[in-house]
Copies of this chain bind each other. A is one copy, B any other.
Amino acid sequence: MASEHFLIPRNITNVLRQVSYTGIIALGMTFVIIAGGIDLSVGSMIALIGVLVVMLLNYLGDGWTAVTLAIGASVVLGVIFGAINGLITVKGRVAAFIATLATMSVYRSLTLYISDAGEVVSRNTFYPEVGGGYWLSIPIPVWLFLGLAIIGHLILRHSAYGRHVCAVGSNAKVASYSAININRVYFLTFVIAGITVGIAAVMLSSRLNSVSPGDAGLFYELDVIAAVVIGGTSLSGGKGTIWGTVIGAIILGIINNMLNLLGVSPYLQGTVKGLVILIAVLMQFQKNRT
């Protein structure tokens, strides 16, 4: 019964689109986790950037120029909020999970404050086409997800920076004894994550043409971390691949889609997600052991 619907092209595109928002962020998170960190603030950050971007859009008025400016702004905002996470973690020597737990709270609260907890709706008529549009019958966010994955892969596997990220996450001391500026490398992973959040914020807010500050991105950190971990990236850092993350995100999307099509209570999806994270982590531990 599930499979009856599952393979129709429309469902596949759908799953891919649903997956692409957290998938894009998971690409950035892959860098953070490989470097030995974690970013719990991504869910709040997407809401904050989403709200700010839609407000900016409404301020700029209609037209494609406004849209282009807003997209640029969301990337810049991603850089800024990512840099804040990075700075606290690197300069303050605060464990990444506690630094980003704190900013998770701060970013969400600012989102609610700025929007007065009310939905922010864009009045730009072109904006919905950005995240809701298609190219060659494939949704734009899906293209973007794949494009960014390729860029991410190139950086991770084929650039010196990517090599350094792996080295820092594997053994920070060895990295610093290899003339690598570990603080810079670690800091930049948070900026990269911020950029992907910025891009995902555009996709999400333009798809819905609005942002609901209370629940936009709520619990995204779970989906994102799950995608990365299912993709084989070790939570203790040092190794992982972008393609693993892409596959992890898609697997997660398929699981959710199957559960939905099978009529399993949507409330159990959180259980599945939690268990999937645990199993992935435990399997990694098992593997490392042998």
What residues make up the interface of A, taking CB atoms closer than 8 Å to B?
38, 40, 88, 92-95, 97-99, 101-106, 108-110, 112-113, 116-117, 219, 221-222, 225, 235-236, 265, 267-275, 277-278, 281-282, 285
Contacts and interface: CB of A to CB of B under 8 A. Distances in A.
Contacts of A97: 38, 97
A117 B267 contact: yes
Nearest to A214: B267
Contacts of A95: 235-236
B92 A270 contact: no
B281 A92 contact: yes
B102 A274 contact: yes
Contacts of A235: 95, 98
Contact of A110 (B112, B222, B236, B271): B271
Contacts of A272: 109
A214 to B, nearest CB: 10
* Copies of this protein chain in the complex: 2
A98 B272 CA distance: 15
A221 B101 CA distance: 10
A109 B281 contact: no
Given A97-B38, A267-B116, A270-B105, A278 B92 contact: yes
CB-CB nearest 7 A-B residue pairs: A109-B270, A106-B274, A105-B274, A112-B267, A102-B274, A113-B267, A109-B271
B92 A274 contact: no
Contacts of A38: 97-98
B92 A273 contact: no
A223 to B, nearest CB: 10
A165 B209 CA distance: 52
B101 A222 contact: yes
A271 B225 contact: no
Nearest to A105: B274
Contacts of A268: 109-110, 113
Given A106-B275, A271-B105, A274-B104, A281 B113 contact: no
Contact of A285 (B94, B108, B282): B94
Given A222-B101, A273-B105, A265 B113 contact: yes
Nearest to A115: B267
Q: Which one of A102, A103, A116 has the greatest number of beta carbons of chain B within 10 Å?
A: A102
